[in-house]
Homo-oligomer: A and B are copies of this chain.
Amino acid sequence: MNGHSGFEAATIHCPECPVRRLALFQPLDPGEVSIAEAFRTEFRHLKPGNAIFRQGEDIKEVYTLHEGWAYLYQNLVDGGRQILRVILPGDFFGFQVDMGDGVRIYSAQALTAVALCVFPAANILKMVREHVELGIRLIWMTAHDEAVAYEQVVSLGRRTARERVAYLLLDLFHRLRLRQRNPEGIRTVDLPLTQELIADICGLTQIHVNRTLKSLRNDNLLELKGGKLYVPDVDLLACEAKHSHSVFTKRPML
């Protein structure tokens, strides 16, 4: 599912990689991109639900998601969990402070079937020291992730269930559209999230997510069924999501 089409690891080369424009190595000139490939050690496939890494493990690798959906999350003592970030193709993830001796402070899991570009964590600092521009790129991406995290803090701290769900789906809608050939005309995107996952992102229960979606559907703001998200009017949904400023505008990448 999700259009996975059986790549051979050996046939994927970074310079012609279709998701590269979104990824860590995007700003490098063609000669430098091969640097990335030299550092990449593996091209890995995982099934839906498989763990990529777990809270508490040593940090051995960092990743670029090549295909499919994944997410970062934390488990809680009471059995619940909070999803920290949804990862789409081209997104870089798994980078963390204490890369040397630290452990994972969150887990990562494949949501659909995924293909991953794997880089050894130990090489990252070496890479940065040898190629300063790559270091700057890494600073940029980490700062972007921080900004996105702050946006989620605002959502969870101050927005209602309707606003949170609207904001999440709008965000995903934008990010997915940018990965398409002709972003403008698109009103429907594939969205393999279950209501339970939406709940774990928005800090709600699955049941209340269901009622919230129903309410949004009744107001013709969106339609979510069978893994497809339909948004008739993006501006209307944006209004509902109440994002005072916007991470979408001037978004540096993704």
Contact = CB atoms under 8 A, between A and B. Distances in A.
A93 to B, nearest CB: 11
Quickly give the copy total for this chain: 2
Given A102-B250, A156-B157, A77 B242 contact: yes
A105 B147 contact: yes
Contacts of A56: 245
Interface stretch (A5-13, A134-142, A207-215): A134-142
Interface string A79-94: 0111010000000000
Contacts of A95: 143
Interface residues of A, number: 51
A96 B250 CA distance: 13
A144 interface: yes
Contacts of A242: 76-78
A95 to B, nearest CB: 6
Interface string A84-119: 100000000001111000110110000000000000
Contact of A132 (B102, B128, B250): B128
A227 interface: no
19 contacts: A55-B245, A74-B154, A74-B245, A75-B244, A76-B158, A77-B244, A81-B158, A82-B158, A97-B140, A97-B143, A97-B144, A97-B252, A103-B250, A128-B135, A128-B139, A149-B150, A152-B153, A157-B202, A158-B203
